[in-house]
Amino acid sequence: MKSGFVAVIGRANAGKSTLVNVLVGEKVAIVSPKPQTTRDRILGILTTEDYQIAFIDTPGIYKADNLLNSVMQKTTADSSADVDAVLFVMDAHEGVSDTDLNLLKKYAEQKTSTILALTKTDIMPESLLISELKQLGELGVEIVPVSARKGKNIKELLKVILNKLPEGEKLFEQDIVSDRSEKFMISEIMREKILLKFDKEIPHGIAIIVNKFGLMEGGRTYEINLDIVCEKANHKAILIGKGGKAIKEVSSFARADMEKFLGRKVFLTTYVKVKEDWRNSAQLMKEYGYEQ
Protein backbone atom coordinates (compact mmCIF):
# COMPACT_ATOMS: atom_id res chain seq x y z
CA MET A 1 0.00 0.00 0.00
CA LYS A 2 0.97 3.64 -0.28
CA SER A 3 1.27 6.03 2.64
CA GLY A 4 2.66 9.45 3.37
CA PHE A 5 2.36 12.98 4.64
CA VAL A 6 1.08 15.83 2.48
CA ALA A 7 1.47 19.43 3.68
CA VAL A 8 -1.40 21.65 2.57
CA ILE A 9 0.00 25.13 2.05
CA GLY A 10 -1.25 28.42 0.65
CA ARG A 11 -2.31 31.96 1.35
CA ALA A 12 -4.79 32.72 4.11
CA ASN A 13 -8.40 32.11 3.01
CA ALA A 14 -7.36 30.15 -0.10
CA GLY A 15 -9.62 27.22 0.84
CA LYS A 16 -7.11 24.80 2.39
CA SER A 17 -9.19 23.60 5.33
CA THR A 18 -12.31 23.17 3.19
CA LEU A 19 -10.30 21.03 0.79
CA VAL A 20 -8.74 18.95 3.58
CA ASN A 21 -12.21 18.29 5.03
CA VAL A 22 -13.48 17.15 1.64
CA LEU A 23 -10.43 14.97 0.95
CA VAL A 24 -10.69 13.30 4.37
CA GLY A 25 -14.48 13.05 4.18
CA GLU A 26 -14.97 14.50 7.65
CA LYS A 27 -14.73 17.92 9.19
CA VAL A 28 -11.35 17.96 10.89
CA ALA A 29 -10.70 21.71 10.56
CA ILE A 30 -12.92 24.75 10.99
CA VAL A 31 -13.65 27.00 8.01
CA SER A 32 -14.66 30.65 7.69
CA PRO A 33 -14.67 33.46 5.12
CA LYS A 34 -12.06 35.35 7.19
CA PRO A 35 -8.31 34.95 6.69
CA GLN A 36 -6.30 33.37 9.52
CA THR A 37 -9.00 30.93 10.52
CA THR A 38 -6.59 28.03 11.03
CA ARG A 39 -4.05 28.69 13.77
CA ASP A 40 -2.53 25.24 14.29
CA ARG A 41 -1.15 22.36 12.34
CA ILE A 42 -4.00 19.85 12.07
CA LEU A 43 -3.74 16.35 10.66
CA GLY A 44 -6.58 15.00 8.56
CA ILE A 45 -6.10 11.31 7.80
CA LEU A 46 -7.65 9.44 4.89
CA THR A 47 -7.41 5.66 5.04
CA THR A 48 -8.57 3.13 2.44
CA GLU A 49 -7.53 -0.46 1.74
CA ASP A 50 -4.90 0.74 -0.71
CA TYR A 51 -3.48 3.84 0.89
CA GLN A 52 -3.27 6.16 3.84
CA ILE A 53 -2.68 9.89 3.39
CA ALA A 54 -2.04 12.21 6.32
CA PHE A 55 -2.90 15.74 5.18
CA ILE A 56 -1.33 18.50 7.26
CA ASP A 57 -3.63 21.53 7.28
CA THR A 58 -1.65 24.67 8.11
CA PRO A 59 -2.22 28.33 8.99
CA GLY A 60 -2.50 30.42 5.82
CA ILE A 61 0.49 32.44 4.69
CA TYR A 62 -0.04 36.03 5.81
CA LYS A 63 2.17 38.89 6.89
CA ALA A 64 2.97 38.52 10.57
CA ASP A 65 1.77 41.51 12.59
CA ASN A 66 1.84 40.03 16.08
CA LEU A 67 3.50 37.22 17.98
CA LEU A 68 0.62 34.77 17.49
CA ASN A 69 0.78 35.32 13.75
CA SER A 70 4.54 34.83 13.59
CA VAL A 71 4.17 31.57 15.54
CA MET A 72 1.51 30.53 13.00
CA GLN A 73 3.81 31.38 10.09
CA LYS A 74 6.58 29.28 11.64
CA THR A 75 4.12 26.39 12.08
CA THR A 76 3.40 26.53 8.36
CA ALA A 77 7.07 26.71 7.36
CA ASP A 78 7.94 23.78 9.66
CA SER A 79 5.00 21.70 8.40
CA SER A 80 6.30 21.60 4.86
CA ALA A 81 9.61 20.10 5.93
CA ASP A 82 9.96 16.30 5.86
CA VAL A 83 6.77 15.56 3.96
CA ASP A 84 6.24 13.37 0.92
CA ALA A 85 4.46 16.07 -1.05
CA VAL A 86 3.25 19.65 -0.80
CA LEU A 87 -0.29 20.42 -1.90
CA PHE A 88 -0.27 24.11 -2.72
CA VAL A 89 -3.79 25.55 -2.66
CA MET A 90 -4.60 28.69 -4.64
CA ASP A 91 -7.90 30.56 -4.73
CA ALA A 92 -8.29 30.56 -8.52
CA HIS A 93 -11.36 32.78 -8.64
CA GLU A 94 -9.32 35.69 -7.28
CA GLY A 95 -6.85 35.52 -10.16
CA VAL A 96 -3.14 34.76 -9.82
CA SER A 97 -1.40 37.37 -7.67
CA ASP A 98 2.34 38.03 -7.60
CA THR A 99 2.36 36.84 -3.98
CA ASP A 100 0.86 33.50 -5.03
CA LEU A 101 3.25 33.18 -7.93
CA ASN A 102 6.33 33.89 -5.83
CA LEU A 103 5.23 31.52 -3.08
CA LEU A 104 4.47 28.76 -5.53
CA LYS A 105 7.84 29.21 -7.25
CA LYS A 106 9.56 28.82 -3.89
CA TYR A 107 7.83 25.49 -3.26
CA ALA A 108 8.24 24.31 -6.85
CA GLU A 109 12.02 24.78 -6.57
CA GLN A 110 12.28 22.57 -3.51
CA LYS A 111 13.07 18.87 -3.72
CA THR A 112 9.68 17.80 -2.36
CA SER A 113 7.04 17.19 -5.05
CA THR A 114 4.56 20.04 -5.28
CA ILE A 115 1.02 19.73 -6.62
CA LEU A 116 -1.05 22.82 -7.29
CA ALA A 117 -4.77 22.74 -6.56
CA LEU A 118 -6.65 25.63 -8.14
CA THR A 119 -9.75 25.82 -6.02
CA LYS A 120 -13.09 27.68 -5.93
CA THR A 121 -13.54 26.94 -9.65
CA ASP A 122 -17.31 26.86 -9.02
CA ILE A 123 -17.43 30.64 -8.73
CA MET A 124 -15.33 31.72 -11.70
CA PRO A 125 -15.63 31.87 -15.48
CA GLU A 126 -13.96 29.07 -17.41
CA SER A 127 -12.06 31.59 -19.53
CA LEU A 128 -10.18 32.80 -16.44
CA LEU A 129 -9.31 29.23 -15.46
CA ILE A 130 -7.97 28.53 -18.93
CA SER A 131 -5.71 31.58 -18.89
CA GLU A 132 -4.46 30.69 -15.40
CA LEU A 133 -3.67 27.13 -16.46
CA LYS A 134 -1.63 28.53 -19.31
CA GLN A 135 0.22 31.00 -17.10
CA LEU A 136 0.95 28.50 -14.30
CA GLY A 137 1.72 25.60 -16.62
CA GLU A 138 5.17 27.07 -17.20
CA LEU A 139 6.21 26.38 -13.62
CA GLY A 140 6.43 22.63 -14.17
CA VAL A 141 4.16 21.54 -11.31
CA GLU A 142 1.13 19.35 -11.80
CA ILE A 143 -2.07 21.39 -11.65
CA VAL A 144 -5.52 20.14 -10.72
CA PRO A 145 -8.50 22.54 -10.85
CA VAL A 146 -11.03 21.63 -8.15
CA SER A 147 -14.04 22.88 -6.29
CA ALA A 148 -14.00 21.76 -2.68
CA ARG A 149 -17.45 23.22 -2.18
CA LYS A 150 -18.98 21.23 -5.04
CA GLY A 151 -16.71 18.21 -4.58
CA LYS A 152 -15.48 18.59 -8.15
CA ASN A 153 -12.31 16.82 -9.39
CA ILE A 154 -11.44 15.55 -5.91
CA LYS A 155 -10.85 11.98 -7.14
CA GLU A 156 -8.50 13.28 -9.84
CA LEU A 157 -6.61 15.28 -7.23
CA LEU A 158 -6.27 12.18 -5.06
CA LYS A 159 -4.83 10.23 -7.99
CA VAL A 160 -2.19 12.90 -8.61
CA ILE A 161 -1.30 12.97 -4.91
CA LEU A 162 -1.03 9.17 -4.73
CA ASN A 163 1.42 9.20 -7.62
CA LYS A 164 3.81 11.20 -5.45
CA LEU A 165 3.58 8.95 -2.38
CA PRO A 166 5.94 6.08 -1.59
CA GLU A 167 5.00 2.49 -0.85
CA GLY A 168 4.73 2.03 2.89
CA GLU A 169 2.78 0.79 5.84
CA LYS A 170 -0.04 2.57 7.63
CA LEU A 171 1.21 5.41 9.83
CA PHE A 172 -1.99 5.67 11.87
CA GLU A 173 -4.68 3.27 13.01
CA GLN A 174 -7.50 2.60 10.57
CA ASP A 175 -10.22 4.67 12.30
CA ILE A 176 -8.27 7.79 13.19
CA VAL A 177 -9.25 10.85 11.12
CA SER A 178 -7.41 13.54 13.06
CA ASP A 179 -4.60 13.89 15.58
CA ARG A 180 -6.59 16.47 17.52
CA SER A 181 -8.47 15.79 20.76
CA GLU A 182 -12.20 16.25 21.30
CA LYS A 183 -11.35 19.09 23.66
CA PHE A 184 -9.42 20.89 20.90
CA MET A 185 -12.32 20.44 18.47
CA ILE A 186 -14.76 21.85 21.03
CA SER A 187 -12.69 25.02 21.37
CA GLU A 188 -12.36 25.28 17.57
CA ILE A 189 -16.13 24.93 17.06
CA MET A 190 -16.66 27.87 19.42
CA ARG A 191 -14.00 29.90 17.57
CA GLU A 192 -15.62 29.09 14.22
CA LYS A 193 -19.00 30.41 15.34
CA ILE A 194 -17.34 33.62 16.58
CA LEU A 195 -15.49 34.00 13.25
CA LEU A 196 -18.79 33.65 11.43
CA LYS A 197 -20.71 36.11 13.60
CA PHE A 198 -18.29 38.95 14.36
CA ASP A 199 -16.25 41.21 12.11
CA LYS A 200 -12.90 42.92 11.92
CA GLU A 201 -10.43 42.43 14.75
CA ILE A 202 -12.81 40.72 17.20
CA PRO A 203 -12.55 37.10 16.00
CA HIS A 204 -8.80 37.37 15.44
CA GLY A 205 -8.30 38.46 19.04
CA ILE A 206 -10.22 35.51 20.48
CA ALA A 207 -8.83 32.53 22.36
CA ILE A 208 -10.96 29.77 23.82
CA ILE A 209 -10.11 28.04 27.07
CA VAL A 210 -11.93 24.83 27.90
CA ASN A 211 -12.28 24.80 31.69
CA LYS A 212 -14.55 21.83 31.93
CA PHE A 213 -15.28 19.04 29.48
CA GLY A 214 -16.81 15.84 30.74
CA LEU A 215 -19.91 13.70 31.01
CA MET A 216 -22.48 14.65 33.61
CA GLU A 217 -23.96 12.11 35.95
CA GLY A 218 -25.83 9.46 34.01
CA GLY A 219 -23.42 9.82 31.08
CA ARG A 220 -25.93 11.16 28.57
CA THR A 221 -24.92 14.83 28.58
CA TYR A 222 -21.59 16.59 28.28
CA GLU A 223 -20.97 19.54 30.55
CA ILE A 224 -18.76 22.07 28.81
CA ASN A 225 -17.53 25.27 30.35
CA LEU A 226 -15.57 27.72 28.19
CA ASP A 227 -13.80 31.03 28.66
CA ILE A 228 -13.87 33.25 25.61
CA VAL A 229 -10.83 35.49 25.91
CA CYS A 230 -10.89 38.73 23.93
CA GLU A 231 -8.45 41.61 23.68
CA LYS A 232 -10.43 44.68 24.67
CA ALA A 233 -13.25 45.76 26.97
CA ASN A 234 -15.25 47.10 24.01
CA HIS A 235 -14.84 43.74 22.25
CA LYS A 236 -16.27 42.06 25.33
CA ALA A 237 -19.32 44.33 25.21
CA ILE A 238 -19.89 43.51 21.52
CA LEU A 239 -19.37 39.78 22.11
CA ILE A 240 -21.98 39.76 24.87
CA GLY A 241 -24.42 42.09 23.09
CA LYS A 242 -27.51 43.79 24.46
CA GLY A 243 -28.94 41.68 27.26
CA GLY A 244 -26.52 38.88 26.30
CA LYS A 245 -28.21 38.40 22.91
CA ALA A 246 -25.04 37.98 20.83
CA ILE A 247 -23.29 35.50 23.09
CA LYS A 248 -26.50 33.49 23.44
CA GLU A 249 -26.81 33.24 19.69
CA VAL A 250 -23.22 32.11 19.00
CA SER A 251 -23.32 29.72 21.95
CA SER A 252 -26.46 28.12 20.63
CA PHE A 253 -24.89 27.57 17.18
CA ALA A 254 -21.75 26.22 18.83
CA ARG A 255 -23.74 23.90 21.08
CA ALA A 256 -25.63 22.43 18.11
CA ASP A 257 -22.33 21.63 16.35
CA MET A 258 -20.75 20.26 19.52
CA GLU A 259 -23.74 17.94 19.96
CA LYS A 260 -23.37 16.71 16.39
CA PHE A 261 -19.63 16.20 16.87
CA LEU A 262 -19.92 14.41 20.23
CA GLY A 263 -23.13 12.53 19.47
CA ARG A 264 -24.55 13.56 22.85
CA LYS A 265 -26.46 16.43 24.41
CA VAL A 266 -24.31 19.33 25.55
CA PHE A 267 -24.83 21.66 28.47
CA LEU A 268 -22.70 24.67 27.55
CA THR A 269 -21.75 27.66 29.66
CA THR A 270 -19.51 30.46 28.42
CA TYR A 271 -17.78 33.33 30.12
CA VAL A 272 -16.20 36.30 28.31
CA LYS A 273 -12.88 37.61 29.67
CA VAL A 274 -10.52 40.39 28.60
CA LYS A 275 -6.75 39.91 28.33
CA GLU A 276 -5.22 42.97 26.69
CA ASP A 277 -2.80 42.21 23.87
CA TRP A 278 -2.55 38.48 24.66
CA ARG A 279 -1.49 37.87 21.04
CA ASN A 280 1.84 39.51 21.89
CA SER A 281 2.37 37.71 25.19
CA ALA A 282 4.43 34.53 24.92
CA GLN A 283 3.23 33.43 28.35
CA LEU A 284 -0.50 33.88 27.67
CA MET A 285 -0.18 32.28 24.26
CA LYS A 286 1.39 29.24 25.84
CA GLU A 287 -1.43 29.14 28.38
CA TYR A 288 -3.98 29.20 25.53
CA GLY A 289 -2.24 26.40 23.65
CA TYR A 290 -0.30 28.35 21.03
CA GLU A 291 3.21 27.10 21.62
CA GLN A 292 6.25 28.47 19.86
Ligand X SMILES: Nc1nc2c(ncn2[C@@H]2O[C@H](COP(=O)(O)OP(=O)(O)OP(=O)(O)O)[C@@H](O)[C@H]2O)c(=O)[nH]1
Contact 40, 292 (CB under 8 A): no
Q: In the set 17, 121, 147, 270, which binds Mg ion (CB under 5 A)?
A: 17
For ligand X, the closer of residues 31 and 224 by Cβ is 31
CA dist., res. 164 & res. 4, Å (int): 9
**Residue 154 has what DSSP assignment?**
H
For ligand X, the closer of residues 57 and 222 by Cβ is 57
For ligand X, the closer of residues 16 and 51 by Cβ is 16
Q: Which of ligand X, Mg ion, none lies near 14, with the C-beta cut-off 5 to 8 A by kind?
A: ligand X
Closest separation between CB of residue 193 and ligand X, Å? 14
Comparing every residue's Cβ against ligand X, the nearest one is 60
Q: Which of ligand X, Mg ion, none lies near 148, with the C-beta cut-off 5 to 8 A by kind?
A: ligand X
For ligand X, the closer of residues 17 and 178 by Cβ is 17
Contact 189, 30 (CB under 8 A): yes
Closest separation between CB of residue 47 and ligand X, Å? 22
Q: Is the dihedral of CA 173, 46, 220, 212 positive or negative?
A: positive
For ligand X, the closer of residues 224 and 285 by Cβ is 285
CA dist., res. 77 & res. 61, Å (int): 9
Residue ranges of alpha helices (H) inside the chain are 16-24, 67-79, 98-109, 126-137, 154-164, 182-197, 201-204, 233-240, 245-262, 282-287
Residues at the interface with ligand X (CB under 6 A): 10, 12-18, 31-33, 35-38, 59-60, 119-120, 122-123, 147-149
Contact 88, 130 (CB under 8 A): no
Q: Which stretch binds Mg ion (CB under 5 A): 33-41, 63-71, 193-201, 265-273?
A: 33-41
Q: Which stretch binds Mg ion (CB under 5 A): 38-46, 89-97, 115-123, 181-189?
A: 38-46
Partners of 2 in the beta sheet?
51, 167
- In this structure, the number of other CB atoms found within 10 A of the CB of residue 50 comes to 9
Which residues lie near Mg ion (CB under 5 A)? 16-17, 37-38
